[in-house]
Structure 1
Amino acid sequence: MQKTSARLLSLLSLLQARRDWPGALLAERLDVSPRTVRRDVDRLRELGYPITAAKGPDGGYRLDAGAELPPLLFDDEQAVALAVGLQVAVTAGAGIEEAALRALNTVRQVMPARLRRRIDTLQVTAVERPTTGTGSTVDSTVLTVLGAAVHACTVLRFDYALPAGTAGDGLSLASPRRVEPHHLVTWGGRWYLVAWDLDRGDWRVFRADRITARTPAGPRFTPRELPGGEVAAFITNRFRGSDGSGDWPCRGEVILALPAASVSRHTHDGVVEELGPHRCRLSLGSWSWTSLAAAIGRFDADIEVVGPADLREAFAHLARRYTDAATGAAPPAP
């Protein structure tokens, strides 16, 4: 039989592994009597673990949530997953970086040497995204408020800061909004709220770092069905400007005087077909024909447009614009 201290740790580990445990099954797992299980449960309660018991022939035990966070036990894989998750949180831009770093140091300090070596070999480095404005870090309090509203299905009121220059004077405006919040997501290193805008009668995607929540919260609502059913597809389509088909609204095909291997490294979701040692076919999409032509033009190579005609017109439009820029000609009046 295990010593009392070791048995208590085994019991705590079992209670954390599943929601409900029959007393007889715990006694069998620990190779002790049901009476010993009851005494060990009482000892854990004295240490601050909120364990509830159900009486009767089918009675058992459950580890509930308490007012304070007691010590926890993790198996090896859980401990590694927790440490990796905390490293990612340090770079998440959610306003919890300092707290995540402190938690990571605490977890690492109590890890066995074999696990600490595994963690030390995997280091996540935070790289600042280039930006011309202020950072997009979100206050963790804002994320908590948004997440609570999503979970409780309560109408959310907030002031939404519009981008600088929206009013034409370089200043940012605060636009009051009433929404039904449905999802809190991340995209490209930023946090977004997906919500049904009650005043505009349509789905909207709001940057969380521009939200200033108002209190109190509004009434509860019945969640609506998101277009497409999946939030990942919805967000992807919105940022692509797509009609919901999952593809870019503008897609064209060109032949570039470059090796396929050189082009494929810089196309992400483009399709590259090798036509020869220094020639390839590229199919690429974008949110507008002009942006697609500009994206293709960044390759330092001769371009042959396969189609469609809209892409040819976009190249002609950019050619006129670049010619004016090169010669110093004044742009045409709008």
Structure 2
Amino acid sequence: MAYDLPARMLRLLSLLQTRRSWGGGELAERLGVTLRTVRRDIERLREMGYPVEATTGTAGGYRLAAGTDMPPLLLDDDEAVAIAIALRTAANEITGLADTALRALAKLEQVLPKRLRHRVTAFDTAAHPMGSLPWAPPGSRVDPAVLATLAVACRDHEIITFDYRTRGGATAARRTEPHALVFEASNWYLLGYDTRHADWRIYRADRLTEPAGTGHRATPRELPATDPAAYVAARLAVAPARHHLHLTVPLDAETAAPRAYALPGRVHRVDDHTSRLDLSSDYPRDIASQLLGLAPEATDITGNPDLAPHLDQLGTFLLDIAEQLTGQEHQRDIQT
């Protein structure tokens, strides 16, 4: 394929950003030009501020190095949307990064093509923050393109189809009227009305594949709650889990909930100074971290025995670290 000069320069820059290094002959073949033309184009990139270094070897090659100034980045559509979503999430969820993330997002959105800008603005409309949980379960990775597709469907009220893997591992096709995306530090959730089961359902986005619009729009249904995030939090609070722990702490509910990273539905007021918490998770480390957030005040603890060996193992690990630190301090005292 033949490229004109501007297109060829963009293609060359894109290639340099995708690999550690390229041979000159490889670049020439990819671009459909001579090695001499590649050398001239490399010089043009250097003049534009891109630090392209020559590499040694049989035929020689090139790589894009880090520079003192940051030249413009070349991103494909999915990469641009992924960065915009990450910046929006950081602005809402990560303490101390809000202002910086919003400034970066504003710069990015200013130069986004219209075809991408509507995907990012759809995400802003569809996404609802929820309280943070301490650990992300293994494998909870979501394709940004999937999130963007879901966000657009939520905004446009377009019925979508997708394959969904349940907690038990079974996969089935779903047809849903999407309502909102809800996120917290661990997972993304799609809240929608399942047309097959005629009921509201919550889907973990990392278990959802091949989302596709049907071209049919649904009249928005009234959610049985005032807030999508609160509705999802309440449903998650009563969802089944492998491990359970119940305890009482001498803290009011407003104080206990954030210290335990607990969903609102799992914190119960006993009186002005006491709360009862129901901690549940498939992952013992989730519960361990919640306990540490409440230490040392937790009392009246009950739960399933299967959780005990996991907590014992984690406790032994912490004790070993404490002994190592104590030994290091003792060694310093001897040396001084």
Q: TM-score, normalised by structure 1?
A: 0.42
Structure with the bigger RCO (C-alpha within 8 Å, sep 6+) is 2
Q: Of the two, which has the highest radius of gyration?
A: 1
